[in-house]
């Protein structure tokens, strides 16, 4: 057992899978000798060689197209896009091909690949380095969108993503990379995809979140407990396809729901969750669903970043609103 | 030249031709065509493709298939590619390559099925690893380098051939792919079908580059032009490039010069942007006409054989059409059943709704 932060957990999962599945290949910009700009792939090229872990020329759409071609040949590409703000160049290959190849060939050619990318704000990064545009991909049939929120879930979900037979967009919250450590057994045990994780039980209100905001959500739940409100905390983890049942079951119990995400509000994944709650669980609700999200503005540079990101205080206010609703 | 300036790089672009526009040999036949039966085989395949094309357009005009991109005038490129590849090689075509696909074992009924609006047309016969034809321009060129890199990593002896149009060479995908193929020395052959028109935009408005072949120079890969209306030249150059790639001597970019004698697709009307004189002039360079003249002049072909061929291809295309028209549509659930390896739980209720609405037939 080792005590790892999230980035080390990613590294360990990659190493485990490279060791145990000879079809796994890891590539991207600066992932070789440099070990990735966040060090997710550190040491892997040395350990597994340049045919398994390699740098590519600097072209994101090429990285995605390359991964698609390789995936059709029985390899399991795990490609890194250096930051989510640079993934847009690759969107054509991801949406027009990776997500569609199985369907358009009626299963003849498939695309078992993972595209990992750091995402989210809160680390005072330069422009275009703080994007949280998971909804773009969650909209696309044929893709999976997976977001870990702790080192152990990063390890287990990345293993699951690599072993999955379809393309997975794996979004790693940069703010959590080095935020805390967890003990992880390196047994290669994957966590389930397509399922939410209930991180905290509670009877009064359901807090739904994913990625870095899980951190603020859990802290808020601890605070709320001190004032007599017991919040259930759900980590959605797989944004596409969405496990609404776990959320519905919780809201049936609590009657109240607050959705927290770092991405902007309009057409965010929170809107989809709220819509499905209204569709299938309206009668459970004792108060209107609340969303605590970034404002619908462009993610600011570092000086205004803390105004942009949802805070524990905003989550608390939203919970109080649903608790006091009559 | 100024004394302080020295030349650090220079380039030239070769163009290969065997048959001129009149069907006369301008150089000796290549070794692999010493047995001229092979050339007759090319001719028959090209004639078959032309018949297929005419019938496909007729099917579109009568509402039996959807929008269809004609291959008229592109027969030498398509058949030349097909004949230059081994069955185990992998093909990443664009959307005007069905001649090469037929050569590789894809059935005419399958291509009709695809343009007739049925995904099963891309689950075709022949090499099961070949990519389906690709609609987003030039995006297939990146798949080709991905496949080629997998072949390289797995130390297999296969080669990938991919095709892109002249307009497609303006896209980043194309530049990114040839760049990667060069720096990683991948076993891939890039063929540019330069038919002079990207829908309504002529080649001259795509780039100031004198040739499209020279784009390979910036990527550090070998390049050449061929007369794309001369099936012998096309097949010769691609064969050479394929063998080079198989021997791990690097990728090649080949620009095949041709002309789109048709509209872009059945949804297009080239009269809006292209003058008829240009088209009439280009008709004289027709790849099929040229090969016919050659075969006749060498007494390798006669009018009786021409009539027999015409009957044969008519029957073949007719039976393909009949086969296609007899294929029933999939049921609505097929929309769900190939989306993921296993249907996610989140989609179960929508699939059930679909079943309830539309049933299983």
Phi, psi of B198 (to 5 degrees): -110, 95
CA separation (Å) from B281 to A249, B16, B196?
Answer: 73, 21, 14
Neighbours of B269 (CB within 10 A): 11
A62 touches chain B (CB under 8 A): yes
Give the tokens for residue A215.
Answer: 């951190």
Contact A243, B345 (CB under 8 A): yes
Contact B291, B39 (CB under 8 A): yes
pLDDT in tens, B148-168: 999 999 999 999 999 999 999
Rounded Cα gap, residues B58 and B84, in angstroms: 30
A66 touches chain B (CB under 8 A): yes
Going by pLDDT thresholds of 50, 70 and 90, the confidence category of residue B81 is very high
Pairwise CB contact (< 8 Å): A65 & B145: yes
pLDDT in tens, A264-320: 999 999 999 999 999 999 999 999 999 999 999 999 999 999 999 999 999 999 999
Q: Which of A65, A106, A165 sits opposite B119 (nearest CB)?
A: A106
pLDDT in tens, A161-205: 999 999 999 999 999 999 999 999 999 999 999 999 999 999 999
Pairwise CB contact (< 8 Å): B180 & A73: no
Res A1: pLDDT:
76
Contact B231, B42 (CB under 8 A): yes
Going by pLDDT thresholds of 50, 70 and 90, the confidence category of residue A69 is very high
Q: Which residues contact B189 (CB under 8 A, 6 or more apart)?
A: B159, B160, B161, B162, B238, B241, B242, B245, B251, B252, B254
User: Bridge partners of A208?
Assistant: A234, A259
Sheet with A76-80, side-by-side order of all strands: A53-55, A24-28, A76-80, A114-119, A168-173, A144-146, A238-240
Distance from CA of A166 to the nearest CA of B (A): 6
Asked if the model's pLDDT at residue B2 lies above 80, the reply is no
Res B3: pLDDT:
76
Pairwise CB contact (< 8 Å): A65 & B176: yes
- Catalytic amino acids of B? 260, 264, 273
Q: Which of A59, A69, A74 sits opposite B176 (nearest CB)?
A: A59
Rounded Cα gap, residues B244 and B247, in angstroms: 5
> For chain B, what is the mean pLDDT?
97
Distance from CA of A225 to the nearest CA of B (A): 32
Which residues of chain B have a CB within 8 Å of the CB of A160?
A: none
In this structure, what DSSP letter does residue B201 have? E
Residue in A22, A59, A73 to test binding to B, most B beta-carbons within 10 Å: A73
Asked if the model's pLDDT at residue B361 lies above 90, the reply is no
Mean pLDDT of B334-361: 95
Widest CA span in chain B: 82
Q: Say what the ipTM of the complex is.
A: 0.96
Res B171: pLDDT:
97
DSSP structure string for A289-322 = -EEEEE-SSPPP-GGGHHHHS--HHHHHHHHHHH
Which residues of chain A have a CB within 8 Å of the CB of B154?
A: 73-75
In this structure, what DSSP letter does residue A255 have? S
Going by pLDDT thresholds of 50, 70 and 90, the confidence category of residue B1 is low
Phi, psi of A209 (to 5 degrees): -155, -175
Pairwise CB contact (< 8 Å): B142 & A74: no
Q: Which residue of B has its CA nearest to A276?
A: B346
A228 touches chain B (CB under 8 A): no
Which residues of chain A have a CB within 8 Å of the CB of B120?
A: 106
Res B4: pLDDT:
85
Q: Give the pTM.
A: 0.97
Distance from CA of A209 to the nearest CA of B (A): 18
- Catalytic amino acids of A? 129
Going by pLDDT thresholds of 50, 70 and 90, the confidence category of residue A93 is very high
Residue in B95, B134, B142 to test binding to A, most A beta-carbons within 10 Å: B142
Which residues of chain A have a CB within 8 Å of the CB of B119?
A: 103-106
Number of A/B CB contacts below 8 angstroms equals: 136
Q: Which residue of B has its CA nearest to A104?
A: B119
Mean pLDDT of A13-42: 98
Q: Which of A57, A66, A109 sits opposite B183 (nearest CB)?
A: A57
Pairwise CB contact (< 8 Å): B172 & A61: yes
Number of H helices, E strands in chain B: 13, 8
B348 touches chain A (CB under 8 A): no
Cis peptide before A241 (omega within 30 of 0): yes
Residue in B118, B121, B141, B150 to test binding to A, most A beta-carbons within 10 Å: B150
> For chain A, what is the mean pLDDT?
97
Helix (H, G, I), strand (E, B) or coil at A10: helix
In this structure, what DSSP letter does residue B25 have? B
**Which residue in the block uniquely carries the two structure tokens 């970034």?**
A294
Q: Which of A69, A166, A242 sits opposite B150 (nearest CB)?
A: A69
Distance from CA of B274 to the nearest CA of A (A): 31
Q: Which residue of A has its CA nearest to B348?
A: A241
pLDDT in tens, A209-262: 999 999 999 999 999 999 999 999 999 999 999 999 999 999 999 999 999 999
Percent of chain B with pLDDT over 70: 99
């Amino acid at each position: 057992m080792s005590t790892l932060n999230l980035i080390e957990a990613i590294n360990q999962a990659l190493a485990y899978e490279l060791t145990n599945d000879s079809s796994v290949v890891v590539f991207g910009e600066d992932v070789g000798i440099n070990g990735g700009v966040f060090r997710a792939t550190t040491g892997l090229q040395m350990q597994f060689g340049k045919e398994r872990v390699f740098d590519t020329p600097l072209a994101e759409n090429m990285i995605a197209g390359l991964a698609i071609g390789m995936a059709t040949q029985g390899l399991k590409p795990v490609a890194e896009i250096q930051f989510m703000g640079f993934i847009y160049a690759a969107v054509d290959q991801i949406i027009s091909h990776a997500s569609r190849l199985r369907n358009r060939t009626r299963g003849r050619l498939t695309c078992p690949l993972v595209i990992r990318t750091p995402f989210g704000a809160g680390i005072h990064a330069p422009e275009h380095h703080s994007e949280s545009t998971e909804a773009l991909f969650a909209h696309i049939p044929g893709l999976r969108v997976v977001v870990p929120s702790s080192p152990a879930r990063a390890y287990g979900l990345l293993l699951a993503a690599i072993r999955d037979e379809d393309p997975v967009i794996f979004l790693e919250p940069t703010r959590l990379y080095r935020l805390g450590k967890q003990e992880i057994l390196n047994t290669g045990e994957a966590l389930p995809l397509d399922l939410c994780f209930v991180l905290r039980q509670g009877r009064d209100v359901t807090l739904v979140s994913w990625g870095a905001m899980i951190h603020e959500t859990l802290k808020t739940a601890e605070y709320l407990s001190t004032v007599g409100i017991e919040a259930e905390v759900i980590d959605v983890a797989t944004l596409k396809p969405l496990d609404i049942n776990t959320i519905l079951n919780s809201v049936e119990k609590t009657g109240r729901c607050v959705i927290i995400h770092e991405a902007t509000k309009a057409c965010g994944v929170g809107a989809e969750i709220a819509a499905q709650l209204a569709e299938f669980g309206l009668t459970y609700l004792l108060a209107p669903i609340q969303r605590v999200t970034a404002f619908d503005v462009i993610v600011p540079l570092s000086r205004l970043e803390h105004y942009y990101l949802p805070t524990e205080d905003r989550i608390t206010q939203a919970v109080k609103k649903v608790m006091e609703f009559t | 030249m100024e004394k302080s300036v020295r030349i650090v790089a220079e380039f030239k672009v070769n163009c290969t031709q065997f048959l001129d526009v009149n069907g006369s040999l301008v150089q000796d036949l290549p070794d692999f065509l010493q047995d001229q039966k092979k050339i007759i085989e090319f001719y028959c395949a090209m004639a078959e493709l032309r018949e297929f094309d005419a019938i496909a357009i007729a099917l579109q005009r009568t509402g039996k298939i959807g929008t269809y991109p004609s291959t008229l005038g592109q027969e030498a490129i398509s058949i030349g590619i097909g004949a230059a590849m081994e069955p185990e090689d992998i093909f990443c075509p664009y959307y005007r390559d069905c001649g090469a696909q037929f050569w590789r074992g894809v059935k005419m009924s399958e291509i009709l099925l695809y343009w007739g609006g049925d995904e099963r047309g891309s689950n075709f016969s022949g090499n099961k690893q070949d990519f389906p034809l690709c609609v987003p321009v030039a995006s297939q060129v990146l798949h080709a380098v991905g496949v080629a890199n997998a072949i390289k990593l797995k130390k297999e002896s296969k080669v990938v051939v991919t095709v892109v149009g002249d307009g497609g060479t303006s896209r980043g995908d194309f530049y990114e792919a040839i760049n990667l193929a060069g720096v990683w020395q991948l076993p891939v052959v890039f063929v540019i079908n330069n038919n002079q028109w990207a829908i309504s935009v002529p080649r001259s408005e795509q780039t100031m580059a004198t040739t499209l072949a020279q784009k390979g120079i910036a990527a550090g890969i070998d390049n050449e032009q061929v007369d794309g209306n001369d099936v012998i030249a096309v097949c010769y150059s691609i064969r050479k490039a394929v063998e080079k790639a198989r021997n791990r001597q690097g990728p090649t970019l080949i620009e095949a010069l041709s002309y789109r004698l048709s509209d872009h697709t059945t949804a297009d009307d080239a009269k809006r942007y292209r003058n008829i004189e240009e088209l009439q002039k280009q008709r004289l360079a027709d790849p099929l006409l040229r090969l016919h003249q050659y075969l006749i002049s060498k007494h390798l072909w006669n009018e009786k054989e021409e009539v027999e061929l015409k009957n044969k291809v008519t029957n073949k295309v007719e039976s393909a059409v009949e086969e296609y028209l007899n294929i029933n549509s999939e049921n609505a659930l097929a929309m769900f059943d190939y989306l993921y390896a296993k249907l996610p739980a989140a989609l179960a209720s929508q699939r059930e709704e679909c079943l309830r609405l539309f049933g299983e037939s």
